[in-house]
């Protein structure tokens, strides 16, 4: 009986080690998703700066050539480009948050292994 208790104790120690390893894997996946989120945010900021400075001027010139008043053309072009960049940023951030949310912390391997150990212990006691 003492040997059985020692064996079960050793099994549970190994299960705890497995749980720690799984927690580390889940953390690594979460960090990867956060890195993707940060890259998306950086691209959003860069896109806003570049597009608002270049495309707004070009679109404003096009609208002026079509007969729109200069102040209105520049305002409308800034709104159009700003809305486009905001939608692009929202899509990238939303995707990253979805990926991050889908990777919930679960201990499938540990749970299955503990269940097997419990079944073996029950059989041994009988």
pLDDT string in tens for the chain (126-residue length): 667 667 777 777 888 877 777 877 877 788 888 888 999 999 988 887 887 789 899 999 999 999 999 999 999 999 998 898 899 889 999 998 888 876 655 677 777 777 787 777 777 766
Check residue 64 and give its pLDDT. Answer: 96
- Report the domain count for the chain: 1
Place of tokens 């700066």: 49
- Domain around 66: 2-125
* Closest residue by Cα to residue 107 from 33, 39, 17, 42: 17
Residues sharing a CB contact under 8 Å with residue 114, sequence separation 6 or more, in sequence order: 12, 15
Check residue 93 and give its pLDDT. Answer: 92
- Spatial distance between the Cα atoms of 63 and 72, rounded to a whole number of angstroms: 9
SS3 content of the chain, % helix, strand, coil (to 5): 90, 0, 10
Query: What's the pTM value of the predicted model, to 2 decimals?
Result: 0.46
Q: Contact, 79 vs 60, CB < 8 A? A: no
Place of tokens 């079944």: 119
């Amino acid at each position: 009986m003492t040997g059985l208790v020692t064996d079960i104790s050793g099994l549970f120690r190994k299960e705890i080690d497995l749980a720690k390893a799984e927690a580390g894997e889940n953390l690594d996946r979460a960090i990867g998703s956060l890195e993707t989120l940060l890259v998306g945010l950086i691209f959003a900021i860069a896109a806003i700066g570049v597009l608002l400075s270049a495309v707004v001027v070009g679109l404003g010139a096009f609208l002026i050539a079509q007969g729109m008043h200069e102040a209105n053309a520049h305002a409308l072009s800034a709104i159009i480009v700003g809305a486009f960049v905001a939608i692009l940023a929202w899509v990238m951030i939303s995707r990253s948050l979805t990926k991050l949310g889908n990777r919930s912390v679960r201990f499938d391997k540990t749970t299955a292994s503990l269940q097997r150990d419990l079944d073996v212990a029950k059989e041994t006691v009988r």
